[in-house]
């Protein structure tokens, strides 16, 4: 019987790490329509230790699921600074966009609850605040509506 690594990740079974090989570390979920990676699953399930180990073991950091969301986008959505930092430090492309044209900076901004720490971190690491989504809006546009965000944006402005 084939072990379902995704189920082990969801359950937080740290033993899943011992089952990883170069052939299965980048497998995609067989849930119809998902196409998520083990790293997406670990982040969504709040399994930080597993996520950090997957990053260390060389999982594809730029893999996108069916919505074209990366693991960094997930970490930003779940406001998980520890995992987001590890992903960025390991060399992920910060500015990949989802099917709506939103990057991880957008995800951090839209998911924040008045604490813009992760938004600022991604911006400081090279997040493109001027990248427009398919609706013609950018994180810079949103920043103009909130004084705190505007101050953060100005701090990292290249102008």
Instruction: Work out the average pLDDT over 100-113.
Output: 94
Q: How far is CA 2 from CA 18, 19, 27, 28, 79, in A?
A: 15, 12, 13, 14, 33
Instruction: Work out the average pLDDT over 21-46.
Output: 85
The count of domains in the chain is 1
Question: H-helix or E-strand containing 76?
Answer: helix 71-77
Is the overall model pTM greater than 0.75, yes or no?
yes
CATH number at residue 31: 1.25.40.20
Report the pLDDT value the prediction gives residue 1, as an integer from 0 to 100. Answer: 36
Report the pLDDT value the prediction gives residue 13, as an integer from 0 to 100. Answer: 93
Strand partners, 37: 28
Domain membership of residue 119 as a residue range: 5-155
CA angle 120, 124, 129 (to 5 degrees): 75
In 3D space, the residue among 111, 108, 115 whose CA is nearest the CA of residue 129 turns out to be: 108
């Amino acid at each position: 019987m084939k072990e379902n690594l995704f189920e082990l990740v969801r359950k937080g079974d740290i033993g899943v790490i011992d089952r990883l090989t170069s052939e299965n570390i980048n497998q995609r979920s067989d849930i119809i329509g998902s196409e998520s990676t083990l790293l997406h699953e670990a982040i969504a399930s709040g399994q930080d230790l597993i996520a950090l180990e997957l990053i260390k073991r060389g999982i594809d950091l730029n893999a996108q699921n069916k919505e074209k969301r990366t693991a960094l986008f997930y970490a930003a959505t779940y406001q998980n600074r520890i995992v987001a930092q590890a992903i960025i430090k390991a060399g992920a492309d910060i500015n990949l966009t989802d099917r709506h044209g939103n990057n991880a900076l957008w995800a951090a901004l839209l998911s924040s609850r008045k604490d813009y720490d992760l938004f600022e971190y991604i911006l400081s690491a090279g997040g493109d605040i001027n990248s427009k989504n398919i609706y013609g809006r950018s994180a810079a546009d949103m920043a103009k509506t909130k004084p705190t965000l505007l101050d953060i944006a100005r701090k990292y402005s290249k102008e």
